[in-house]
Amino acid sequence: MKPLAIRVAAFLVLPILALLAPACAGEARVLASAVEQFGDWELFCQPTGGCRISQRLAVEGGGETVFLLTAVRSDSSGPYVGIVSVPLRGYLAPGIELRVDQRRSYQLLYETCDPAGCHAGFPLEGSVLADFRAGTTARFRVWTAKDNPVEIDVSLIGFTRAFAALGERS
Could you give all domains of the chain from N- to C-terminal order, each with its CATH number?
Answer: 4-169 (2.60.40.1880)
pLDDT digits 0-9 by tens, 12-62: 444 444 444 444 444 344 444 479 999 999 999 988 878 999 999 988 877
pLDDT digits 0-9 by tens, 141-163: 999 999 999 999 999 999 999 99
Give Cα separations from 52 to 19, 22, 43, 89, 104 (angstroms).
10, 13, 6, 26, 26
Nearest partner of 163 among 127, 125, 115, 137, judged by Cα:
125
**Entry pTM:** 0.80
For 10, the 3-state DSSP assignment is: helix
The whole-chain average pLDDT of the chain stands at 83
Is residue 170 predicted with pLDDT exceeding 60?
yes
Question: What pLDDT sits at residue 26?
Answer: 43
